[in-house]
């Protein structure tokens, strides 16, 4: 394998550093030779070269879908890239249960919901429901967690009210819908509502979804962000470690 220059990192296609990429997008025009040329010029304006339209088809009246092969010219210095990430010790649910009951001395109380107009609970249920996801059991099955799953389209204030009522240690917010950055709006709304009620330091705040990153979560005031591929045990490990962190900080005072 050829040595890679991490200071000039480019996409890999056929050979190292060739910058080859595949793009797909839709234009609000009918497929035609003119549409093909328009797609080519758009991709060129994005900074790509050696552009080839691999596929063009109609996906409805007045819409053309394109698959484009091209090459990127601008590289990135990978040695200077910074991205916060969760560094969690991997434990299975039996070990997590044992650690929680041993170190926390009681189940961790968790309230989860999809807020706003988001009606998609697939991510929330994958983490919380007993069956879990991909062989990784959900938090409802743990002895070390007491879980309240409020489901979808829950008003932000109702989520907070329930968390207060349950004396929750953590709030899990799930955001799937992301059109026009509605997921960011809803994330900010929860933080603002907690601050308004003087509860911004009361709960461990966890958010998850396909457009969520740990970096975004931290920037908006959350303790952790989980994205596609996250498992229930990942969330469980984080909550356990965060509870121990809070316990140790309290003991130092």
What are the residue numbers of the active site? 131
**How far apart are alpha carbons 202 and 217 in whole angstroms?**
17
Give the whole-angstrom CA distance, residue 239 versus residue 103. 13
Q: Running DSSP on this structure, what letter comes out for residue 175?
A: -
Ramachandran assignment for 99, one of left (phi > 0), alpha (psi -120 to 50 degrees), beta (any other): alpha
User: Would residue 134 be called left, alpha or beta, if left means φ above 0 and alpha means ψ between -120 and 50 degrees?
Assistant: left
Give the relative orientation of helices 182-196 and 156-165 as an angle to the nearest 10 degrees.
Answer: 50
Handedness of CA 49, 9, 87, 222 (dihedral sign): negative
Q: How far is CA 223 from CA 54, 74, 152, in A?
A: 43, 34, 22
Measure the CA–CA gap between 188 and 40, rounded to whole angstroms.
38
Please give the Cα distance from 77 to 242 (Å, whole number): 33
Run of H or E including 183: helix 182-196
């Amino acid at each position: 394998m050829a040595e890679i220059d991490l200071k000039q990192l480019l996409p890999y296609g056929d050979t190292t550093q060739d910058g080859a990429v595949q793009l797909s997008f839709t234009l609000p025009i009918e497929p035609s030779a003119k549409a093909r040329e328009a797609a080519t010029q758009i991709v060129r304006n994005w900074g790509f070269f050696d552009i080839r339209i691999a596929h063009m088809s109609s996906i409805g009246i007045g819409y053309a879908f394109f698959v484009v092969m091209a090459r990127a010219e601008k590289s990135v210095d990978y040695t200077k890239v910074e991205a916060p990430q969760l560094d969690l010790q991997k434990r299975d649910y039996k070990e997590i249960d044992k650690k929680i009951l041993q170190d926390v001395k009681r189940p961790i109380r968790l309230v989860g919901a999809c807020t706003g107009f988001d009606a998609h609970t697939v991510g929330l249920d994958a983490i919380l429901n007993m069956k879990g996801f991909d062989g990784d059991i959900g938090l409802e099955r743990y002895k070390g967690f007491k879980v309240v799953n409020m489901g979808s389209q829950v008003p932000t204030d109702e989520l907070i009210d329930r968390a207060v009522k349950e004396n929750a240690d953590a709030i899990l917010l799930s955001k799937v819908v992301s059109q026009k950055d509605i997921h960011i709006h809803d994330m900010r709304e929860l933080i603002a509502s907690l601050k308004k009620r003087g509860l911004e330091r009361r709960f461990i705040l966890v958010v998850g979804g396909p457009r969520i990153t740990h970096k975004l979560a931290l920037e908006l005031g959350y303790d952790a962000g989980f994205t596609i591929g996250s498992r229930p045990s990942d969330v469980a490990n984080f909550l356990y470690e965060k509870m121990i962190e809070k316990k140790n900080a309290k003991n130092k005072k």
